[in-house]
Structure 1
Amino acid sequence: MHRQPGLSVRLKLTLSYAAFLMLAGTLLLAAVWLFLLRYVPEQAVLTVPNGTAGSDVFPVRSRLLDVFAPRAAAVFMLLLIFGLLGGWILSGRMLAPLTRITNATRLAENGSLSHRIELEGPTDEFRELADGFDRMLAQLEAHVAEQKRFAANASHELRTPLAITQTLLDVAINDPNRDSGDLDERLRAINTRAINLTEALLLLSRADQRSFTQERVDLSLIVEEATETLLPFAEKRGITIETAGELTPTKGSHTLLLQLATNLIHNAIVHNLPEHGTISVTTAARFDSVVLTVENTGEILSRQLVSTLTEPFQRGARTHQPGVGLGLAIVKSITEAHNGTLTLMARLGGGLHVTVALPADQT
C-alpha cells in the first residue's frame, strides 16, 4: 500500500514536547506580566530632594515593557531550544523499545522466527507489546515447523501408494503373461488407500480453516448415529460397545462432529484387544459444556506415546494397525474448530480414555 511520506513519531513527539514547553512558558510570562500590570502604576512622580521645588513624572509601565520584552524573548528562545533538544532525547529513549520491536518484525518478515525481543524492565505498554510479539513469534515458529513436518509426512504417505502402484505396473508390463486378477485387486486396494488419505487431508484442512456453518445439534444423537454405523464392524471383531447418554445440545457442523465421533469409535475398535474387547461411549451435559467420552480396552500405552497420538501420521507403536494416521489428528482439529478441548489418557489396564468437551448451547 502506497502511503504519503510524513513526519516520524520521534519528530512529532519532539515538536509536541517543545510546543507544550512553549505554551507553559507563555502562560507563566503572561501571569508575570499581568501581575506587574496590576501592581505597577502607569506613571510615577519623582520628587526632587533637598526641598527643591518641582517634581518629575515618568512612565513606569512603558519602561518596564522595554526591559521585560527582550528578556521574555530570550527566555522563549531558550525554552524552544531546550524543548527541541530535550524532546528529541526523551522521545528517543521512550521509543527505543519500539525500535527493537520494529527490528524483530523485519527479521520475521525475512523468515527468521527464532528471534525474540525479550524486552527488559517493568511491565508497561511497550513491555506488554514486546511480550505479546514474542508469544506470537513462538506460535508462528511452532506452526511453521508443524506445517513443514506435516507436508513432509503427507508427501511420504502419498508417495508410498504411488510407488507401489508404479512397481506393480512395471512388473505387469515386463510379464505380460501374468494373471491380471491379482494385480487388479492390489491396485484397487492401493488406490482406495490413496483416496482415503486424500479425503482425510481435505477434511483436516477444512476443519483447520473452520469453513463450516454453525447449527444447533445434539451430540448424543450424532454419537448414536456413528455407533450404529460402526456396530457391524465391532461385532465382526468381537468387540462390545456400551453406550449411555443424555441430551447434549451444542453448536457446530453436524458433518464434522459425526466424523469426530466416527473416528473416535473406529479408533477404539481398531486399537482394541484381539478378542473380547470392550468400548464405553457416553455423552453428558455439564453446566457450560457437553462431554463425549470414549474408553476402550487394548494394549498398555505409555504416557509419551499417548502425547503423540494426535499428531498427523504419528501412529507410535501401533503401526501394524490399518489406517492413514490421521484419525485422532482430525478429531483434534474438529474439536479445536468448535472451541472445545480434547484429552487423551492411557488406561491403567491398557487401552485409551478420550474426552471431548464442547461448549454447550444454552439458547
Structure 2
Amino acid sequence: MDRRQGLSVRLKLTLSYAGFLVIAGALLLTAVWVFLLRGRSQSLIVSDLSDFLRVFDPSNFGPVVFVPAGILVLAFLLVFGLVGGWILAGRMLAPLIRITDATRKVANGPLSHRIRLPGRRDEFRELADSFDTMLAQLEAHVAEQQRFAANASHELRTPLAVTQALLDVARDDPNRDTGELVERLRVVNSRAIDLTEALLLLSRANQRSFTREHVDLSLLAEEATETLLPLAEEHDVTIETSGDTSTTIGSPSLLLQLTTNLLHNAIGHNLPEQGIVWVHTSVRTDTVVLTVENTGEKLPSQLVPTLTEPFRRGTERLHTGHAGVGLGLAIVESITHAHDGTLVLTPRPAGGLRVTVHLPAASAHVRQV
C-alpha cells in the first residue's frame, strides 16, 4: 500500500511527552496562582523586561514576577520534555525497531532468521515471540511445500517417462503387438489421471472451498464399505463395521473420500491372507469419532507420524495390484483439518495401524453459532 510520509512514532511520542509536561506545568502554575497569589494587591502585569531577572531575587518574589517566572518554567519544561521524551521514546521503541529490522531481513533473505528479543515479558516481547513462532511455522510450511512440489514432479514424471518409452518402442518396432502396448499405456495413463485427481482433491481440501451440511459418518462408513467390498474380497480381507449415528457438519463428498481413503489404505496394508479391517463410529462430548483399524505387519513407532506426508509410504504394500498414488493419508489429514478436526495414527501392538478421526459434532457447531 502506497502511503504518504508522516511523522515518525518516536517524534510523535516526544511531542506527546513534551506537551504533557507543558500542560502539567501550566496547570500547576495556575493552581499556585489561584490558591496562593490571587487576591494580592500587587499587579501581575509585567511593566519592564527587567522583571524577568527579579525571579532570581528571593526578596522580590511575589505576584508581580509570577508571570515571567512561570514562562521560564514552562520553557524549561518544554525543552526538558523534548530532550527527555526523545531519549525515552528511543529506548521504548528499540524493540520495535529490532522487530522491523527482522521483518526486512526475512523479506529479503532466508526465513530462518529469528528476533529472539531478550528481557521480561511485555507487549513488545509478546509481539516478537509471536513473530518468531509465525516465522517457524512459515518456514516449516514452505519446506513442506517444496518437498511436496519435488515429490509431485517426480511422481508425475514417472508415468510420462514410461509413456514416452512405450511410444519410442512402438515407433522403433512397427511389428510389435499393439494390443499389449495399448493396455500398458492405458494402465500408465490411469495412474497419471488418479494422481492428478488426488492433487486437485488435496488442493480443494486445503482451500476449504466447500459447502457444509449435516453428515452422518456411520452412513459414510457403510457406503465406503459397500464400494470397496469387492476389493476386500479379492484380497481375502474381512471388513467389520459398527457404531452409532455420528453427525457432523461438513462436505459429504470430502468426508466420503476421507472414509474411502482410510478403508482403502487399511485393505492395501493388510495381511496377505485372512486380514481384518474394523470400522467404528462413536459420539463423545462435542465430538464424533471415526476409527479405522486393520491387521498387518508391525510398524515402527517413529515411522507412523510421517505417513501423512505426501508421497510418503510406510512398508511395501502387500497387495501390489492397488499401490495408490501415495496421497491417501495426506488427503485424509487435509480433509480432517479443513473440518476443524484432528487425526491420530497409532501402531497396533499386534501389527497394523489404528487411525482415529475426531470431528466436531453437529450439536457443537450449533452452540458455536
TM band (smaller chain): over 0.9
172-181 vs 318-327, which deviates more? 318-327
Report the Cα distance in structure 2 between the residues aligned to 1:324 and 1:146, rounded to whole angstroms: 18
Q: Does 1:12 align with 2:19?
A: no
Corresponding residue of 1:200: 198
Report Cα offsets for 1:260-299 as digits up to 9, x if no partner: 0000000000100000000110000111100000010001
Tell me, what secondary structure is at the counterpart of 1:122? coil
Worse-matched range after superposition: 278-287 or 69-78: 69-78
Q: Which amino acid aligns with 1:75?
A: V
CA contact (8 A) 2:291 2:355 kept: yes
- Contact in 1 for aligned 2:37/2:63 (Cα 8 Å): no
CA distance in 2 between counterparts of 1:277 and 1:350 reads 11
**Residue 335 (structure 2) aligns with:** 334
Match of 2:136 in 1: 138
Give 1:252's aligned residue. Answer: 250
Query: Between Structure 1 and Structure 2, how many residues are aligned?
Result: 345
Shift of 1:39: 6.0
TM norm structure 2: 0.91
Q: Which secondary structure state, in structure 2, belongs to the residue aligned with residue 212 of structure 1?
A: coil
User: Secondary structure at 2:6's aligned position in 1?
Assistant: coil
Q: Which residue pairs with 1:50 in the alignment?
A: none
Q: 1:136 and 1:256 mapped to 2: Cα distance?
A: 29
Q: Aligned ranges for residues 155-166 of structure 1 at < 5 Å? A: 155-166=153-164
* Alpha-carbon displacement from aligned partner over 1:163-217 (angstroms, at most 9, x marks no partner): 1111111111111111111110110000000000000000000001111111111
Q: Does 1:350 align with 2:351?
A: yes
Q: 2:134 & 2:221 partners in 1: Cα distance?
A: 37
1:112, distance to aligned residue in structure 2 (A): 2.1
| CA distance in structure 2 between the aligned counterparts of 1:63 and 1:19, rounded to whole angstroms | 27
SS of residue matched to 2:293: strand
Q: CA deviation at 1:110?
A: 1.6
Q: Equivalents in 1 of 2:124, 2:205: separation in Å?
A: 36
SS at structure 2 position matched to 1:339: coil
The unaligned stretches of length 5 or more in structure 1 are 44-61
**Structure 2 counterpart of 1:95, which letter?**
L
- Pairing 1:270–2:268 present: yes
Q: Deviations over 1:289-326 (max 9, x none)?
A: 00000010001110122111100000133267411100
Displacement of 1:121 after TM fit? 1.2
Q: If the length of structure 1 is used for normalisation, what is the TM-score?
A: 0.92
Counterpart Cα distance in 1 of 2:39 and 2:146: 82
Residues 139-288 of structure 1: pairs in structure 2 closer than 5 A: 139-288=137-286
Work out which of the two has the higher radius of gyration on C-alpha atoms and give 1 or 2. 1
Cα RMSD after superposing both structures: 1.5
SS in structure 2 at match of 1:310:
coil
What residue in structure 1 maps to residue 95 of structure 2? 97
Aligned mates of 1:95, 1:282 — CA distance in 2: 57
Moved more, 104-113 or 332-341: 104-113
Question: Which piece of structure 1 moves more, 279-288 or 111-120?
Answer: 111-120
The match for 2:85 among 73, 84, 87 is 87
1:35 paired residue number: 35
Deviation at 1:42, TM superposition (A): 4.4
Where 1:307 maps in the other structure, the secondary structure is helix
Q: What is the DSSP-based 3-state SS (H/G/I as helix, E as strand, rest coil) of the residue aligned with 2:245?
A: coil
Q: Deviations over 1:43-78 (max 9, x none)?
A: 9xxxxxxxxxxxxxxxxxx99444222222211111
Q: What residue in structure 2 maps to residue 59 of structure 1?
A: none
Look up the equivalent residue of 1:352 and give its one-letter code: L
Q: 1: CA distance between counterparts of 2:73 and 2:316?
A: 84
Q: State, as a whole percentage, how many aligned pairs show the same letter.
A: 69
Which residue of structure 2 aligns with residue 323 of structure 1? 324
1:119 aligns with 2:117: yes
Q: Distance in 1 between matches of 2:42 and 2:266?
A: 103
Whole-Å Cα distance in 2 between the matches of residues 116 and 208 of structure 1? 27
Question: Secondary structure at 2:183's aligned position in 1?
Answer: helix
Give 4+ residue runs of structure 1 displaced > 4 Å after superposition: none
Q: CA deviation at 1:236?
A: 1.2
Point out where structure 2 has 5 or more consecutive residues left out of the alignment: 44-59
Q: Deviations over 1:84-105 (max 9, x none)?
A: 0000010111111111111111
Partner Cα separation in structure 2 for residue 63 and residue 305 of structure 1: 88
